[in-house]
Structure 1
Amino acid sequence: MNATTRLHETRDIGLFLTGSGLWFICVGIQSIFLPWVLISVLHASPFQFGVAQMCLMLPVLALVIYGGYLADRHPLRRLLTRLYLIAAMVALLFAAWCFQGSLSYPMVLIYSLLFGVLCAFCAPAREAWLNVLGQRQLQKIVTINIGIEFGIQVVGYALGGLVSWIGVSVMFLLLAVLFLTASVSVARISTTTLAKPQSDLLTETREAFRFSVNHPVIFPVLLLNGLIGVFFLGSYFVVMPLHLSQLPGYDASLLATANIVFMVGLIASIATLVLAGGVQSKQRTLIVSCLLASLVLVVMPCVFNRWLLLTLLFGWGFLGGIALSMGQTLIQENAPARNKAQVLALLMLFFMGGNPVGSLLLGTLLEYWEATSVGVITATVMILAIAAISYIYKLWGSHYDHINSAT
């Protein structure tokens, strides 16, 4: 590969990661901005708040498989450019509405649903295109991308916290500018994919699911990501905030600090993997990181010292970053080129679909048991499930020839 080709690849990856980073800055902004609007401006009830948060996730769960199907059939540069542009137009429309009047609860629901739909189509296209652009150094690029997706949301947290000073309409305008910049960035990428013949959605989905279920690596990795979604994400969104509220001197800044520390831990794991040049045994690294992260679930509810708890959250984020990087790299390497985006969509479905299940499950358990007991139950189930999956599918000692084909 000559220097000119390497330069084009580096430029394309940089533009792709820029667009991805801008998108996830917007995600970070919205994770602060929209809850603040619901609570402080609209004075939504807990039920209304839950419904609004659910509206962000439901379209993803319902449409992500179809999003993967479209990503497998359409040129990825054109598809992702248009999706980012549509996101900018939606945010601009809501900025105009807010300039003319106040934001209402139904408007928040509409925006949440629209953004959820865009996420369902963006995510598979983004992951499939990442495989095309970074196939020569896939583990490194996937690891960096995960670090950007999660770590850069800290910037969004900070910008979202300015909403009480700059106002709702200006915040929507800021989102529009960021989405538009992301669209321009990915439109400048020189590498894309060719359009493919249309085929039956159900047939393609069955083919992708059948391939994934029968694959010795993909299916157990999907199961492990489902467990991460249920028990780790559920603990992150339910157990951790409720435990923090029990600490002396608790306020909103402590919750923000905890989120930032977790993300810093995740970024640190990404930096470690990149500097180390990746790992050889991705399956074993995935299993060990999940087992160690499970132990944090036992210890965390027992710790009431603020600094020790933040240290645990840093370690939990570090382990989470490793697990996510290994899981996604394994799927990227083994998914077939024909319907790679749909297999990646299955990964997102298992991972993100576990979040609402875990939140409901752990919230219910906390109604009847102490947090320490819930931590032991969660960790025990997680460890036993990891051991069972690893044993049944021989994941620990398996050797495979990955596909890693983006064409």
Structure 2
Amino acid sequence: MNKTLSRTFRSLSVRNFRLFAAGQVMSVGGTWMMVVAQDWLVLSLTGDSATALGMVTALQFTPLLLLTLYGGRLADRHDKRLLLTIANLVSGVLAAVLALVVLTGAVQLWHIYLFAFALGSVNAVEVPTRMAFVSELVGGDLLPNASALSAAYFNTARVAGPALAGVLISQFGSGPVMLLNAVSYLATVLALRMMRPAELHRVAAGSSAGGGVVDGLRHMRSRPDLMLPMALVGVVGMFGFNFQLTLPLIARTVYDADASAFGLLASALGVGSLVAAFVTTARRGRPSARTVVGAALAFGLLETLTGFAPNLVSAVVMLVLTGFATMYFAQAANHRIQLGTDPRYRGRVMALYTLIFQGSTPLGALFVGLLSELLGARSGLYVGGLISLAAAAVALVVVRTRGEEPGEGSSLVKRRAAPRSPAADSRR
């Protein structure tokens, strides 16, 4: 038992990663509380408009389409710890301003639109930088475990945040919840500043391959084993991963539920994701293409079935299963891409991953929002699930036809991502 626990949490033996994880639990918990408060406020202001909620989601993710590749370039060229510090401070200020507007009773829909776009602009830099920073915290050998633990704390917050937010919104309204989110960003900032820079596993100064975004795209194009999971991530991310839009709509318009029940639905999805995150901590190497495709097939099937759940209880059960498949697929795709990428390009490749995975959300959100207006809230789930299922089936045919790419595997990471000594890092 002790050996199992030590293997599961082995990345926490690294001090810098312990600090990072602790700060992220607090910050991500606040973020999920904010998501529930924001969505509930939009629906309250607009009379349950799916189009308005889709617009907020689209505005929050549109900057990822426009700026993420540049954010990845910044991550490859500059101090990731400094970039993350600045991004979290700016996000905290933005959240505080919106909270004050809501608390004064002056909030209008355009305020939420503006906040969503501004926060999305910050995230275009923060997300790829954070993904690439994990490898600097623990080195190549511990990267799969650290990535899985990152998903675990993310989903721990995803379970607790919405449930707590639902209760707080029912009692105090959306404003105080948004203010708590603003304060939570300070936890990440404090953790980042307490780290020891000499213990980071950085690529030596001046060794980043190529000069810009185009070089990262060329590297990606030269790797067919990376292109397939990227394409699958794009389709599933665009049409399947729209829970921020579909769950509040189903809670209010299908099950006639209050904010607490909406929080329960979001938490159910998080419970399944949390279990999957802990399961993937056992992964030691790069997952196969078949693993990625199989996880996508399971996700598409489960999301489709969730769309037809007859009542709130069955929806909660199905969302737990869907959450498991959601995270297992996301982690498998992430590990396959990140562990197969030359560390010199990792910031740009993960920026492309973020662009495809999350940047496709604006298009998907507008599509699902319109679909929900025409066919009802359930359609956002079962249509998204069917499209994901079809994409996974096509990918499976490709994998069976082409087979695994020759020479792929974790050896690339071990050969090119060997941790540098603290002395070398301190000279950066």
In structure 1, the partner of 2:424 is none
Q: CA deviation at 1:96?
A: 5.0
What is aligned with 1:226? Answer: 234
- For 1:54-203, what aligned pairs fall within 5 Å after superposition? 54-95=58-99, 102-135=106-139, 136-161=141-166, 162-163=168-169, 165-166=171-172, 169-191=175-197, 192=200, 193=202
Q: Secondary structure at the match of 1:149?
A: helix
Secondary structure at the residue paired with 1:231? helix
2:425 aligns to what?
none
Asked whether the equivalents of residues 63 and 120 of structure 1 are also in contact (C-alpha less than 8 Å), the reply is yes
Q: Check 1:87–1:27 CA distance in 2 against 1; reply closer, same or farther (3 A cut).
A: same
**Cα distance in 2 for residues equivalent to 1:129 and 1:357:** 28
1:243-262 mapped onto 2 (5 Å cutoff): 253-262=260-269
Aligned in 2, Cα 1:195/1:45: closer, same or farther, shift over 3 Å? farther
Normalized against structure 2, the TM-score is what?
0.80
In structure 1, how many angstroms separate the alpha carbons of the residues matched to 2:216 and 2:412?
Answer: 16
**Residue identity matched to 1:267:** L
> Any idea what the Cα deviations from partners look like across 1:232-257, whole Å, max 9, x if unmatched?
214x4566666677867755554432
Task: Name the residue aligned to 1:330.
Answer: 336
TM-score, normalising length from structure 1?
Answer: 0.83
Cα separation, partners in 2 of 1:98 and 1:297, compared to 1, 3 Å: closer
RMSD: 3.6
Q: Sort the Cα spacing of 1:18 and 1:49 in 2 relative to 1 into closer, same or farther, 3 A.
A: same
Cα distance, 1:171 vs structure 2: 3.5
Residues 120 and 392 (structure 1 numbering): CA distance in 2 closer, same or farther, change over 3 Å?
farther
Distance 1:261 1:397 in 2: 40
Q: Is the 8 A contact 2:87 2:126 kept in 1?
A: yes
Cα distance between partner residues in 2 of 1:123 and 1:10: 22
Matched residue of 2:339: which SS?
A: helix
Contact 2:58 2:365 in 1 (8 A): no
Shift of 1:300: 3.5
After superposition, the Cα gap between the structure-2 partners of 1:157 and 1:342, relative to the gap in structure 1 and judged at 3 Å, is: same
Q: Distance in 1 between matches of 2:174 and 2:249?
A: 28
Decide which moves more: 367-376 or 397-406.
367-376
**Aligned match for 2:413, one of 382, 393, 403:** 403
Question: For residues 148-176 of structure 1, what are the alpha-carbon distances to aligned partners after superposition, in whole Å with 9 as ceiling and x for unaligned?
Answer: 22331232213433145445554443223
User: Retained in 2: the 8 A contact 1:220–1:393?
Assistant: no
Structure 1 position 23 matched with structure 2 position 33: no
Q: Deviations over 1:90-130 (max 9, x none)?
A: 33344555566623333322222221111111111111110
Q: Distance in 2 between matches of 1:119 and 1:311?
A: 31
Asked if the contact 1:74/1:194 (under 8 Å) is kept, the reply is no
Q: Is the 8 A contact 1:301 1:375 kept in 2?
A: no
Give the distance between the partners of 1:95 and 1:303, measured in 2 at CA: 35
Q: Distance in 2 between matches of 1:51 and 1:364?
A: 10
2:219 pairs with 1:215: no
Task: Report the equivalent of 1:3.
Answer: none
What SS is found at the alignment partner of 2:212?
helix
Within the candidate set 35, 40, 44, 2:39 is matched to 35
Measured in 1, the distance between the counterparts of 2:280 and 2:51 equals 41
Distance (Å, rounded) in 2 between the aligned partners of 1:375 and 1:41 = 27
Tell me the equivalent position of 1:381.
Answer: 390
1:285 is matched with which residue? Answer: 291
Contact between 2:58 and 2:363, CA under 8 Å: does it hold in 1?
no
> Cα gap change, 1:281/1:352 in structure 2, threshold over 3 Å: closer, same or farther?
closer
State the AA in 2 paired with 1:403. Answer: V
Quote how far apart the aligned CAs of 1:399 are.
4.0
| Separation of aligned partners in 2, 1:185 and 1:151 | 18
Q: Which moved more, 1:376-385 or 1:102-111?
A: 376-385
Q: Which runs of 5+ in 1 are unaligned?
A: 1-5
Distance change in 2, residues 1:53/1:60 (3 Å): same
Q: Distance in 2 between matches of 1:196 and 1:77?
A: 15
Amino acid at match of 1:266: S
1:357 corresponds, among 354, 363, 366, to 363
Q: Which amino acid in structure 2 is aligned with residue 322 of structure 1?
A: Y
- Contact 2:34/2:177 (CA < 8 Å) preserved in 1? no
Q: How far did 1:307 drift?
A: 4.2
Structure 2 unmatched runs, 5+: 1-9, 421-428
2:272 to 248, 265, 284: 265
| Aligned-partner Cα distance in 2 for 1:35–1:68 | 29
The CA distance in 2 between the partners of 1:48 and 1:298, in whole Å, is 24
